[in-house]
Amino acid sequence: MIENIRLSFQGIWSHKMRSFLTMLGIIIGIASIISIVSTIKGTNEQIKKNLIGSGTNTVQIQLYQGDYQYEMLYNGLPDGIPVRDETTMEKIKSVKNVEDAAFYTSRSDYNNSVYYGNNGISGSQVFGVDNSYFTTNGLVLKSGRTFVDSDFTDFHAAAIIDADTADSLFDGENPIGKTIEISSIPFTVVGVVDEDSKFEPVINSIDEYYTYYSDSSASRIFVPSSMWPALYSFDEPQNVAIRVSNTEAMTDAGKAVAEIMNTNVTNSEIKYQAQDLLKQAQDLQDLSSSTNSQLIWIASISLLVGGIGVMNIMLVSVTERTREIGLKKAIGAKKSRILWQFLTEAAVLTSLGGIVGVGAGIGLAAIISRVTSAPVAISVPSIIIAVVFSMVIGIIFGLLPSFKAANLNPIDALRHE
């Protein structure tokens, strides 16, 4: 085998231009596939990162009526949905891969219900939370303090706002100690929180804006859970947020917690469901991949053309080396020896084309990324598969010339001019 490989390199080197032109179809095909696969992988990773964000791996389990989130503001208190207690929370925290969890209630109000002086916020989200909510959702204290036990037990009208709310309401002023109104009830701002590590999605269209920002762009105000009835007149069934150990576990953990939350729910129309961002990412990835897989098939046509080129040049090589083949057979070379020599030469030729094509593909992917700002991610398995596949092409399309060489009559071959 080593001798066959040496002879293959010798033959390729002696006809450098012809060998390069033969490999060109393989190079173009492999380069096209590598660049497309890299773009697909980069796009898929970007989709997942856009939806899941900076890596907090948080899943929200909320009430849904059919396919839509249940809105307390418009539909009122639902029947048959019990308020949860610490026993339920202990079950939730025992779920595999759940690192932390917090109950919360929330309202989205689009009627300027939050004011500081004459400044109002449209589309704010108000949350009734405990301190576990902030760590669960990757929120860290930027200034002031978080809630203390007395805020809950003594029903203090304290509020914590996020950084966007602070910028919108206070316009550069220090918000700590200031009084805001939430549904006409005064609350004292005691703290400002922000994302632990902010991530800005890559937005390429208005559709992507609504996909990535529809649930995350509103200003957020947090009040102690004990103050929630003062704002909205009654206790509400809680939602729950969970932080999961890794991104891949988000779907299973979310479903398991939803099952726990649906225990003793007697309303057949309203159930708890996990906000499965991983599933949303997968759906968008599938759409992206199905579109780009067609490009891969088109690029594969050049590999077919390259394979035909290899077959053609190998047939020419057999014709040129007819006397050499006849001489080898005359001194005792077996058919299998001749067959493997030409198969090895075809495989080496296409493998070299595959290796050059991989380099060209990585370079092409980098150029595409720079020109179009499309994210790319080099896939090592695809590189290995591409090189192996190019070798397989050489073997397949080298079979006919190799069989022709192996089956030459030695006497006719020696007489060949």
**Do 233 and 324 have their domain in common?**
no
Residue 76 belongs to some domain of the structure: no
Neighbours of 283 (CB within 10 A): 12
Which residues, 6+ apart, have CB-to-CB distance to 304 below 8 Å?
none
**Do 330 and 202 have their domain in common?**
no
**Do 102 and 156 have their domain in common?**
yes
**Do 95 and 201 have their domain in common?**
yes
Domain boundary among 209, 230, 264: 264
**Do 179 and 220 have their domain in common?**
yes
**Do 6 and 38 have their domain in common?**
yes
**Do 122 and 182 have their domain in common?**
yes
Residue 359 belongs to some domain of the structure: yes
Residue 135 belongs to some domain of the structure: yes
Q: For the residues 156-179, what does the mean pLDDT come to?
A: 91
**Do 297 and 258 have their domain in common?**
no
Count of domains for the chain? 2
**Do 90 and 158 have their domain in common?**
yes
**Do 100 and 235 have their domain in common?**
yes
Residue 407 belongs to some domain of the structure: yes
Q: Which domain holds residue 328?
A: 2-49+284-415
Residue 362 belongs to some domain of the structure: yes
The larger pLDDT score, comparing residue 72 to residue 372, is at: 72
Question: Residue 43 above 80 pLDDT?
Answer: no
- Which pLDDT does position 282 carry in this prediction? 59
Residue 248 belongs to some domain of the structure: yes
Domain boundary among 231, 264, 297: 264
**Do 329 and 300 have their domain in common?**
yes
Residue whose C-alpha is closest to residue 203's, from 193, 192, 213: 213
User: How much is the pTM?
Assistant: 0.58
| Three-class DSSP labels, 233-246 | CCCCCCEEEEEECC
- For the chain, give the mean pLDDT: 78
- Which pLDDT does position 206 carry in this prediction? 41
Least confident span in 15-29, 130-144, 323-337: 323-337
Residue 273 belongs to some domain of the structure: no
The C-alpha atoms of residue 50 and residue 66 are separated, in whole angstroms, by 26
